[in-house]
Copies of this chain bind each other. A is one copy, B any other.
């Protein structure tokens, strides 16, 4: 997905919100905004929004001299999701259709997203997503493909959301490679974050070698790109992965909530929709 002019104000808003969350002083916030304005000037609109987001969050890390400004936020999100884990597990166990329940919980976890919504009410989101109609539902094709493949490549999104993905992986009857970021960016999950959520107990845990949000293939390691190219079936979580991989063909199934007006418009659904969409 390309970058729209409507993304300009949003990049500034995100830069300001993320700076404050990371404890930036007024002077640091001003310096960060000035640098982001520099990036937006003369911007090439054919790049995807996460490519700009990548630069924005590099600026924040550099200005604050912090390698992982949201480490404590991520730990808190993961712990809060872990606290719900037994209740979520019970929901799946008691469901008429455990796999659909697990799809929905994985999508519910996508509410955790510092870039858009600083604080999410997790349990309220779970209850909403369990009863909400899908705006796009390619679940039947995904079920069929899950029965045909020998492995799934699962592209993670945010810390905390990982716990909800873990429940889906535990429900699947096929081995999973769970792919996190190669370095900290916003609250995207890294190896450390995924380990805290227990993903190493249910999947082969790897990183993509990239510190960008979403999955910018050209920025990833050769090792990950090989894995990606060979994958029969890919589950990709969240808006960032949709923005960067929406043109990448029908091996990919996107699980997300639409939180941005432009992404919702690109998919052809309202903001606040739950999506299980084949690429």
> Which A residues form the contact surface with B (CB < 8 A)?
5-6, 8-10, 12-13, 16, 26, 29-30, 33-34, 37-38, 40-42, 45
Contact = CB atoms under 8 A, between A and B. Distances in A.
A237 to B, nearest CB: 27
A41 B30 contact: no
B30 A37 contact: no
Contacts of A33: 5, 8, 40
A34 B10 CA distance: 15
A3 to B, nearest CB: 11
Given A37-B41, A40-B37, A29 B13 contact: no
Nearest to A14: B9
A26 B10 CA distance: 18
A38 to B, nearest CB: 7
A6 B9 CA distance: 10
Contacts of A6: 16
A251 to B, nearest CB: 33
B12 A29 contact: no
